[in-house]
Amino acid sequence: MPNRINIEIARAFFELQKELPLVIRSYGMTKSYIVRETGIPRTTFDRKIREKKFTADEMIKICEVINR
Count of structural domains, the chain: 1
Q: Answer whether 40's CB lies under 8 Å from 61's CB.
A: yes
Rounded Cα distance between 9 and 26, Å, is: 22
Mean pLDDT by 10 residues, the chain (68 residues): 84 93 96 96 96 94 94
Which DSSP category does 30 fall into? Answer: -
Q: Domain range spanning residue 66? A: 30-68
**50 occurs within a structural domain:** yes
Burial of 53 (0-12, 13-18, 19+ CB in 10 A): exposed
The pTM of this model reads 0.84
pLDDT of residue 6: 87
The answer to whether residue 34 sits within a structural domain is: yes
pLDDT at 28: 96
Note whether 49 and 31 are within 8 A (CB).
Answer: yes
Residue 49 lies in a domain: yes
Q: Residue 23 domain-assigned?
A: no
